[in-house]
Structure 1
Amino acid sequence: MSNRVVQGRMVTPAKLAELVEGEPVLETEDIADADRDCPDCGGDVISVGYMPSVTEFVTGYKCQECDWADDDR
């Protein structure tokens, strides 16, 4: 499992997915670098693949410095 620091706190892939989705998710992949900058603050963006339901797979993106988050829906 790859843990990362987000807004000063260490987060697991499941916690990162929950930050993006707004609620707990079923399953997650490891956290990865998204190779993009945050559109709000210019900080580093990381990504995590997760399943919010049994029929859906989503890639979520979260800035490590500010509140910005998005997904590929």
Structure 2
Amino acid sequence: MSNRVVEGRMVTAESLAELIEGESPMEATEIEDADRECPDCGGNVLTVGYMPSVTSFVTGYKCQDCDWHDSEAE
């Protein structure tokens, strides 16, 4: 899995999911660029899929430059 810089820190897929969810996920997919800009600062947004529990999968979005984040349960 590739590491990326978010708010000046190097993050893995798991640590990016933790920034979005607030707790460590069970599993996370690879970090990818999202096809959107941050609504707060206009910065680049990353996306990561993760499992916060055995029965759910979430797609999370996090700006690389500010605190903005969002998620969608599938």
Establish whether TM, by shorter chain, passes 0.5: yes
Structure 2 unaligned runs (5+)?
A: none
TM-score (structure 2 length as normaliser)? 0.96
- Residue in 2 aligned with 1:2? 2
Output the aligned Cα RMSD: 0.5
- Residue in 1 aligned with 2:61? 61
1:38-60 Cα distance to aligned partner (Å, 9 max, x none): 00000000000000000000000
- Residue in 2 aligned with 1:12? 12
1:12-70 Cα distance to aligned partner (Å, 9 max, x none): 00000000000111000000000100000000000000000000000000000000000
Task: Please state whether the residue corresponding to 1:16 is helix, strand or coil.
Answer: helix
**Percent identity at matched positions?**
70
- Residue in 1 aligned with 2:28? 28
Compute the displacement of 1:10 (Å): 0.5
Structure 1 unaligned runs (5+)?
A: none
Q: Displaced runs of 4+ in structure 1, greater than 2 A? A: none
Q: For this pair of structures, how many residues does the alignment match?
A: 73
- Tell me which amino acid in the other structure corresponds to 1:25: P
